[in-house]
Structure 1
Amino acid sequence: MKPITSHTRIPGRAKWLVLSLFSLFYSFALSPLATAHVGSSGVIVQKQVGKYQLLISVKPPDVVPGTAIVTVFVEQGRVSSIGARPIYFRSGDKGAPTHDILTPIGANRYEGDLWLMDSGSSSIELSIDGPDGKQQVVVPVVAMATALRDMPNGTGFGLAAMGLLLIVMLVTIIGASNSDGVLIPGQKAPETLRRQRLVGMGIGLAVICLILTGWRSWWTSTAEDYRHEQLYQPTRINTSVHVANAQRQLTIQFDTTGFGSGQRSRRLFSFVLPDHGKLMHAFLVRTPGLDAFAHLHPNRRDTLNYESALPPLPGGNYLLYTDVVYRSGFAETLTDTVEIPALKTSPEAAANAKPTDIDDSWLLTEPMGVKASAVNIPHLDNDMIVCGKPGASSKLADGSTMIWMDKPSQILEAGKLYSLKFAVADAQGKATALEPYLGMGGHAVILRSDGSVYIHLHPVGTYSMAAEGSLVNRIADTARTFHYPNPARFSDSINTYIAKLKTLPEAEKNKLLAASMPGMSHAMKTNNMVEFPYAFPRAGHYRIWVQVKRNGQVLTGVFDTQVNEPLL
């Protein structure tokens, strides 16, 4: 083997490899430990565009930068190719990359990975091309880091050993270059050269230690910035209930005390958008039995405070899930727990109590009947067969019946995409027409028994209509950078719009809401049905509330189901 001296040149590619391994070792070995965080289950969209009916699933990364998995099922229409690209609200169409072509998998499935390079409100624009024409679909996606990664122990030990070897090699090379280059082949090295070698190795080790110390400081700072600035921090809310004039009032207040820690944690509360006509959708569910449910729409008292009169719910501990959408298309669910005191009122007072919003609704029903930690214990058996397939039914307040159609099996699988279809029959068992509820065919809320999984569903999927409209309008804007309008004027205009909606007859209100949500078109073949695409993210027991409107009354059906991990 030829000795390495000061006259020996290390090839450029080898030098690059040494430095790359060195960098890789320290970027992993010195990274701080992190704990796992459970993120969302992604975005599911089902809609008709032109002659195409599409079922779209987008699973955003839980670390950013990262790749989103985009899957498109073509349920109707002839498609030749589908392209996808991310478009951020801040940069708009002008700052977006070109489309990546999704890979066809089978006859009607297309899939691909799409890089999301920055955090913030974004969308995935799909470009569909084929014999049935060209169409575009915009899917709102919140690109936010929700997890920190742990490095496997085996990988850490391996990289540490490799890094130590590289350090020894570098120190040896530096020492040799400081002394051995002047040696005559075959001649014994004098004592002075050996001292020079040791001095060179010592200086080299000191320099390497300084470099590693600086590197460590930089990495720690970067990791802390990721943890405190980029990692998603949900907006905190303070919820309280007080009694005034024999009526319980719910107050929801945005908590801004943590805004000083970083710019990314800030929210522009003056720029909250109405989603199908409401600034806020608040859902209350009593624990542990999930036997009391309310869907409320609090009024905005000021920028930070919202209030709503509580319906005749029984006292107890409640989970609160509050959905809001901002002007950027950023949608989030704010959570809290609240103790609702029991209130004894006369039947006359209860009958005269008026809700804050005419579209508020609530339901008292049987508890789930199982503990939140129960596993593999079915608690609602299928009670009927519908068209040869298992189903379940729920009695509604007006005497009609809601039927869970086409339920694949008594126990469902986590991660599998389902179309949850529900039909309504009158007291005589005949199909009965449904009316729009907040401009759409229906709403559904799905909650895991321990409250750890929650989703507010619409017939077109798991995303917000207001977020879609905001992002579509931003893409149509030719400006590279978006400039917010005056916050006071914007909030005043929204308040005026909400007040106008409340004065309109139901038919006119639904017509106006439908016009503001053109992507909401999701007509059913029969007008007594409503369906929701969804994939349960985790195994467990789930309760499903399905809300429809009939004869001017909001009706809520409740169903329980068990979800197991998929069979391998």
Structure 2
Amino acid sequence: MLEKSIGFRRQLVAYLLSLLLTYSLTATAHIGSAGVVVQKQAGKYQLLISIKPPDVVPGTASITVFVEQGSVTTIGARPIYFNAGDKGAPTHDILKSISASRYEGDVWLMESGSSSIELSIDGPDGKQQIVVPVMAVATALRDMPEGTGIGLAAMGLLLIVMLITIIGASNADALVLPDHQIPTTLRRRRWLGMGVGLIMVTLLLTGWRSWWTSKAEDYRNVQLYRPMSIHASVRIADNHRQLSILFDTTSFGKSRRNQRTLSYLIPDHGKLMHTFMVRIPGLDAFAHLHPNRNDTLHYAATLPSLPGGKYILFSDVVYRSGFAETLTDTVDVPSPKITAETAANVKPSDPDDSWLVAESMGVKANAVNVPHLDNDMVVCGKPGASTKLSDGSSMLWMDKPAQILEAGKLYTLKFAVADSIGKATPLEPYLGMDGHAVILRSDGSVYIHLHPVGTYSMAAEESLVRRISDTARTFRYPNATHFRDSIDAYVAKLKALPEGEKNRLLMAEMPGMSHPMKTNNMVEFPYAFPRAGHYRIWVQVKRNGRVLTGVFDTQVNESLL
């Protein structure tokens, strides 16, 4: 029985790893969750915004805006690319009013790269503008439907026959005579013309085929997005386990489109890299780390008291262009060779690092290579359920509409914290905001790092807003060494500041992330689960100087619509 259990776990790990590699090809700022969901306050308006970027470029981004507060007359939308800036952007397209509080429309994204959608809101409550970062990258290949291909081939063949016939007729005498009265010489000239026309058309089609194949290969090998490769490893140093993350620049190849400006990484919430580690297959151990930059390619962090095993690693970074990317790898973590007490006292390399070991997600006994949650499993996450936090307080999932949620439906995930006697307790800022959340599908194919304002990076928004305000038509990067050194000095300064001063500085630098709750013991996150499946949610808040992590499991089914 033990051998069967070990064999099943090995198969399950292999299954998770294969899915991770498959879905990492479609990763930008998230894994398997390409849409952007934003909930923002702009003047008197509160808007819930959903943007679904195209998976092929050029393509159209679908925009849906829900007006939660304020009186709106019109909403316009336009794309703005980082390279072109405001001067190179088109005019606004007016979104269609579906109802008094819902507007929809499409916007063309013509180029790959870091971009944004600027929304212009107008109405009795004034004019406001909101910038939403959107990564315009091609992540899919599209095949022509078989019926369309057959129809186009038939029409093309007809056109070729007609073209050859016209060439042959034009090569003969223009006299209109019955066929039996046409001289033999003219007939020969007509057939000769048709033969020459056939050769010309064949050469033309051959050249076109070669050009089309070249373009298709260029799209597949150059334009199709490929995530930056990293290599994660853990070594023992001074009785501590050290996580090392190395950027693999050999993956750049000869394509400039695949290259990254690694010297131009910018901090998001004061950290150059946010790394999340989750042990597989049970998703029972979790860590939110902030590795230090040793040099342009090397990042390192001291591992907390996590149990040994195989972990999925997600590292979020943001470039100066506003392009946000999630880098993935798997890493084997050895079990600590020190006592549990010593391991628990290991000092993290960053004071904002946090971690948690919880119960595993359930797996049905009759499932083969497919992770499942038992429907009657009581961990947390059911309506009104709660989970205990490490300081004795409790976190509650508020207003959960049903035990099973629907894929593609916009939700506001609300979580509240109560102390040991059930009384609402105030929360403190964690990295300059009310809280963080990470959502992971049980097979690793969907990953998202959530903030109270939505699914995008605050640093990306700030970078794009600054670029829009810049009057230069072309952006010029500063000296790479000077830029990197200045960023390292800034991050080091933030780390040394007292907690209150650090949070005030972060909040002042990113005013767009302000998302005040009506009650100071609650945090909420807008999100739409992209696919059906079983999900684990880690919610992180801060109380009495401690980072607390709550764990919730939920099931998501396909939409009923």
* Fold in common (TM above 0.5): yes
1:82-111, Cα deviation, whole Å (9 max, x unpaired) = 111111000100111111111111110111
Give distance in 1, aligned partners of 2:372 and 2:199: 58
What number of residue pairs does the alignment pair up?
Answer: 530
Corresponding position of 1:26: none
The alignment partner of 1:261 has SS state of coil
Give distance in 1, aligned partners of 2:112 and 2:327: 19
The alignment partner of 2:249 has SS state of coil
Corresponding position of 1:124: 117
Work out which of the residue numbers 62, 65, 77 in structure 2 matches 1:69. 62
* Counterpart residue identity of residue 486, structure 1: N
CA 1:381 to 1:314, structure 2 compared with 1: closer, same or farther past 3 Å? closer
Give distance in 1, aligned partners of 2:375 and 2:523: 25
Corresponding position of 1:18: none
1:95-494 matches, cutoff 5 A = 95-179=88-172, 181-184=174-177, 188-370=181-363, 373-374=370-371, 377-378=374-375, 380-381=377-378, 390-494=383-487
Give distance in 1, aligned partners of 2:128 and 2:513: 16
Quote how far apart the aligned CAs of 1:186 are. Answer: 7.2
The alignment partner of 2:253 has SS state of helix
- State whether residues 172 and 186 of structure 2, in contact with CA within 8 Å, keep that contact through their aligned partners in structure 1: yes
Give distance in 2, aligned partners of 1:37 and 1:201: 49
CA 1:379 to 1:216, structure 2 compared with 1: closer, same or farther past 3 Å? farther
* Counterpart residue identity of residue 556, structure 1: T
* Counterpart residue identity of residue 288, structure 1: P
CA 1:234 to 1:379, structure 2 compared with 1: closer, same or farther past 3 Å? farther
* Counterpart residue identity of residue 175, structure 1: G
CA 1:345 to 1:49, structure 2 compared with 1: closer, same or farther past 3 Å? same
The alignment partner of 1:257 has SS state of helix
* Counterpart residue identity of residue 516, structure 2: A
Give distance in 2, aligned partners of 1:37 and 1:171: 46
1:530-541 matches, cutoff 5 A = 530-541=523-534
The alignment partner of 1:78 has SS state of coil
Give distance in 1, aligned partners of 2:189 and 2:495: 88
Give distance in 2, aligned partners of 1:463 and 1:418: 16
Give distance in 1, aligned partners of 2:111 and 2:130: 21
Normalised by the length of structure 2, the TM-score is: 0.92
Give distance in 2, aligned partners of 1:146 and 1:351: 42
The alignment partner of 1:53 has SS state of strand
Q: Does 161-170 or 245-254 show the bigger shift?
A: 161-170
Work out which of the residue numbers 525, 539, 548 in structure 2 matches 1:555. 548
Give distance in 2, aligned partners of 1:130 and 1:378: 47
Larger radius of gyration: 1
1:142-168, Cα deviation, whole Å (9 max, x unpaired) = 100111101112222222222222211
Quote how far apart the aligned CAs of 1:36 are. Answer: 13
Give distance in 2, aligned partners of 1:405 and 1:116: 38
Corresponding position of 1:525: 518
What RMSD over aligned residues (CA atoms) do the two structures have, in Å?
A: 1.7
- State whether residues 380 and 561 of structure 1, in contact with CA within 8 Å, keep that contact through their aligned partners in structure 2: no
Ranges in structure 1 where 5+ consecutive residues have no aligned partner: 1-34
- State whether residues 270 and 303 of structure 1, in contact with CA within 8 Å, keep that contact through their aligned partners in structure 2: yes
Give distance in 1, aligned partners of 2:24 and 2:513: 36
Q: Which runs of 4+ in 1 moved over 6 A?
A: 382-385
1:12-65, Cα deviation, whole Å (9 max, x unpaired) = xxxxxxxxxxxxxxxxxxxxxxx9975533111101111110101111111101
Normalised by the length of structure 1, the TM-score is: 0.91
CA 1:46 to 1:343, structure 2 compared with 1: closer, same or farther past 3 Å? same
The alignment partner of 1:391 has SS state of coil
1:35-54 matches, cutoff 5 A = 40-54=33-47
The alignment partner of 2:411 has SS state of strand
* Percent of aligned positions that are identical: 73
Quote how far apart the aligned CAs of 1:478 are. Answer: 0.5
Give distance in 1, aligned partners of 2:229 and 2:117: 28
Quote how far apart the aligned CAs of 1:296 are. Answer: 0.2
Quote how far apart the aligned CAs of 1:501 are. Answer: 0.7
- State whether residues 368 and 379 of structure 1, in contact with CA within 8 Å, keep that contact through their aligned partners in structure 2: no
1:484-533, Cα deviation, whole Å (9 max, x unpaired) = 00011111111111111111111000000101110011000000000000
Q: Does 173-182 or 256-265 show the bigger shift?
A: 173-182
Give distance in 2, aligned partners of 1:370 and 1:336: 24
- State whether residues 37 and 147 of structure 1, in contact with CA within 8 Å, keep that contact through their aligned partners in structure 2: no
- State whether residues 127 and 137 of structure 1, in contact with CA within 8 Å, keep that contact through their aligned partners in structure 2: yes
* Counterpart residue identity of residue 135, structure 1: Q
Give distance in 1, aligned partners of 2:179 and 2:477: 78
